[in-house]
Structure 1
């Protein structure tokens, strides 16, 4: 897999990896769910799972509000299905999965995202954050800079306010 072309792609990859790491139990059950999947049923099975688990209608026929975690789960689950198919030798279905997930996202997810102000909210919520070490380093740099400026200001102020000493006569 090459480098992510956009900040949104980077955020999706980072968040997906983190989700798989933090909640492995949730994703371990999918191979059992996928065990009967064939090349003909891969896309319909995936779409059915997505509708049932993430975008199920609430009473009254309305869809519930879309959470960013549900958007992320669409991509993680689609990736899990693609891995399952690849591991089972069903590589012919991979382009079909890509197309059906893309169409699903365009039809179901994108309108919600557009209504919610776009992908910038996702990037800020799930994008890779600066680690604690980086934050500490940055804080130390700024503290050191402030200290150096304070010392420099002190010496310049003292030099301007102290009168020059008369030359000493050391001949005596």
Structure 2
């Protein structure tokens, strides 16, 4: 099953906290997965139930809405090796987990968590296609750190990553559930595209 639990030191894949380790493992595995051809590529079986659920949900999302994802190269067209991670973090902060009045964040939705990894995968693909291979390890680490900082505290008291597996793990009745989650994921991604272009036009 997925890795779960507590402790303090946060060392990415080497963290003593299984919840954090899983967050980083999902980032590393998914970026490797999409940049090596996805389901038709060279990756072996997913190492955990969480990474398997992420691969499956990401594939379903990209298969159902391929036209939408062709827009991302326009969003990422000005990305450089120095700006890839900051741009990704900015998009995530502004559009997926914005603070609400009082400094708190909105209630976490698993579709938003899926969006974090799918968007990171699209950024990684863009960087790979532009020959910026040195960015890929940085993206894995910055996405893992983002999930550690923003998402892990929210899910620690909710059974950890088990809810993600329940929502997106491959099973016979997944289609309707995933379709609903995909719409919310795409809505968040669409808002990020529109806002990015508006901000860019104003600056």
User: Structure 2 CA distance, aligned partners of 1:33 and 1:70?
Assistant: 19
In structure 2, the residue matched to 1:17 is 59
CA deviation vs aligned residue, 1:6-38 (integer Å, no higher than 9, x gap): 111110100111111223344333211110000
User: Structure 2 CA distance, aligned partners of 1:106 and 1:36?
Assistant: 27
Q: SS at 1:55's partner residue?
A: coil
- Structure 1, unmatched stretches of 5+, are 133-172
In structure 2, the residue matched to 1:97 is 139
The answer to whether structure 1 residue 71 and structure 2 residue 113 are counterparts is yes
Question: What is the TM-score when the length of structure 1 is the normalising length?
Answer: 0.72
User: Structure 2 CA distance, aligned partners of 1:64 and 1:26?
Assistant: 26
Aligned residues: 132
Cα distance, 1:28–1:59 mapped onto 2, change above 3 Å: farther
User: Structure 1 CA distance, aligned partners of 2:65 and 2:152?
Assistant: 25
Cα distance, 1:23–1:53 mapped onto 2, change above 3 Å: farther
In structure 1, the residue matched to 2:130 is 88
The answer to whether structure 1 residue 57 and structure 2 residue 99 are counterparts is yes
Cα distance, 1:131–1:67 mapped onto 2, change above 3 Å: closer
Q: CA RMSD in A?
A: 1.7
User: Structure 2 CA distance, aligned partners of 1:67 and 1:26?
Assistant: 21
The answer to whether structure 1 residue 127 and structure 2 residue 169 are counterparts is yes
The answer to whether structure 1 residue 35 and structure 2 residue 77 are counterparts is yes
Larger Rg: 1
The answer to whether structure 1 residue 3 and structure 2 residue 45 are counterparts is yes
Deviates more, 1:117-126 or 1:26-35: 26-35
Q: SS at 1:36's partner residue?
A: coil
